[in-house]
Amino acid sequence: MSDNLARVSFAVEREKFETPERRPFRIVSSNPRRRARPRIFYALTAVAGMAAIIVAQLLLSVGISQGAYEISSLQSSQSELGRTAAGVSEDLVRVSSPQSLAANAEGLGMVTNSNPVYLRLSDGAVLGAPASASGSQAGAASLVPNALLTGSALLSQLPDDAAATTGAVAITSAPVVPAGLAAPTTR
Amino acid sequence: MSVRNSSARTNPTNTRSSRRRTFFTIVVLFAVIGVFVVRLVDIQVVQADSLTKDSVGNRSVGQVIYGSRGEIVDGNGVVLAGTVMRYNITMSPVNATPFKRTVDGKKVEVSVAEAAAEIGAATGQTGDAILLTISTALEANAKANFAYIAQKVDVDVLRAVQELHIPWTYSENSPSRVYPNGAVAGNLLGFLSGEGVPQAGLESGQDACLASTNGSETYEKGADGVRIPGSSVTSTEAVDGGDVVTTIDSDLQWFVQQTLAARAQETGAAWANAVVQDAKTGKLLAVADYPSVDPNNVGGTENPDDRGSRAFTQSFEPGSTFKALTAASVLDAGVAALDTGVVSPYRYLPSNGANINDSHSHPDQNMTLTGVLIDSSNTGMSKFGEMLTNQQRYDYMKAFGVGTATETGFPREDGGILHPADEWDNQTSYATMFGQGLTTSALQIASIYQTIANDGVRMPVQLVEGCRQADGTLTNVPDAAGTRVLSESAANDTSDVLEMVYQKSWVNSKWNIPGYRVAAKTGTAQMPDGHGGYSNGYLVSVSGFAPADDPQYVVSVSIADPVKLNTSAAPAPVFQEIMSQVLKKYRAVPSGASAPDLPSTW
Looking at residue B102, its pLDDT comes to: 85
CB contact under 8 A, B229 and A98: no
Q: B80 to chain A nearest CA, in Å?
A: 9
In B, which residues are within 8 Å of A97 by CB distance? Answer: 180-182, 184
Looking at residue A181, its pLDDT comes to: 47
* pTM, rounded to two decimals: 0.80
CA-wise closest residue to B518 among B533, B528, B530, B503: B503
> How many structural domains compose chain A?
1
A52 falls within a domain: yes
CB contact under 8 A, B182 and A90: no
Q: Which of B183, B263, B590 sits opposite A137 (nearest CB)?
A: B263
**Contact of B201 with B183, CB cutoff 8 Å:** no
| Length, in residues, of chain B | 602
Q: B586 to chain A nearest CA, in Å?
A: 11
Q: Tell me: the pLDDT tens digits for B304-362?
A: 889 999 999 999 999 999 999 999 999 999 999 999 999 999 999 999 889 999 988 99
Looking at residue B57, its pLDDT comes to: 67
Q: Which of A113, A137, A152 to mutate to test the interface with B (most CBs of B within 10 A)?
A: A137
A112 falls within a domain: no
A61 falls within a domain: yes
Structural domain boundaries, residue A74: 31-96
Looking at residue A58, its pLDDT comes to: 94
Q: Does residue B223 register a pLDDT over 70? A: no
Q: Tell me: the pLDDT tens digits for B250-296?
A: 999 999 999 999 999 999 999 999 999 999 999 999 999 999 999 99
Residue B7 pLDDT level (bands cut at 50, 70, 90): very low
Specify burial of residue B193 (Cβ count, 10 A radius: 0-12, 13-18, 19+): exposed
Q: Which residues of B519-529 are buried (b: 16+ CB within 10 A; e: fewer)?
A: bbbbbbbebee
Q: Tell me: the pLDDT tens digits for B27-74?
A: 999 999 999 999 999 988 888 888 877 776 666 777 788 888 999 999
Q: Tell me: the pLDDT tens digits for A21-66?
A: 555 555 555 555 555 567 888 899 999 999 999 999 999 999 988 8
CA-wise closest residue to B331 among B486, B453, B449, B451: B486
Residue B6 pLDDT level (bands cut at 50, 70, 90): very low
Q: What is the DSSP string of B348-407?
A: E--TTS--EE-SS----EEEEHHHHHHHT-HHHHHHHHTTS-HHHHHHHHHHTTTTS--T
CA distance A156 to B247: 34
- Helix, strand, coil proportions of chain B in percent (round to 5)? 40, 25, 35
Q: Which of A129, A142, A147 sits opposite B296 (nearest CB)?
A: A147
Which CATH code, of 3.10.520.10, 3.90.1310.10, 3.20.20.80, 3.40.50.1820, is assigned to B84-177? 3.90.1310.10
Q: Does residue B434 register a pLDDT over 70? A: yes
Contact status of A56 with chain B (Cβ, < 8 Å) = no
Contact status of B187 with chain A (Cβ, < 8 Å) = no
Number of H helices, E strands in chain B: 20, 23
CA distance B51 to B165: 36
Looking at residue A177, its pLDDT comes to: 42
Looking at residue A168, its pLDDT comes to: 38
Contact status of A78 with chain B (Cβ, < 8 Å) = no
A74 falls within a domain: yes
Q: Does residue A114 register a pLDDT over 70? A: no
A66 falls within a domain: yes
Q: Does residue B224 register a pLDDT over 70? A: no
Question: What is the homologous superfamily of the domain B250-585 according to CATH?
Answer: DD-peptidase/beta-lactamase superfamily (3.40.710.10)
Q: How many CB pairs under 8 A join A and B?
A: 132
Q: B128 to chain A nearest CA, in Å?
A: 25
In B, which residues are within 8 Å of A8 by CB distance? Answer: 5
Q: Which of B161, B181, B267, B513 to mutate to test the interface with A (most CBs of A within 10 A)?
A: B181
Mean of pLDDT values over B415-436: 93
Contact status of A85 with chain B (Cβ, < 8 Å) = no
3-state secondary structure of B575: helix
* Lowest model confidence (mean pLDDT) among B49-58, B263-272, B523-532, B584-593: B49-58
CB contact under 8 A, B262 and A128: no
Mean of pLDDT values over B482-510: 94
A54 falls within a domain: yes
Looking at residue A23, its pLDDT comes to: 53
Mean of pLDDT values over B374-380: 94
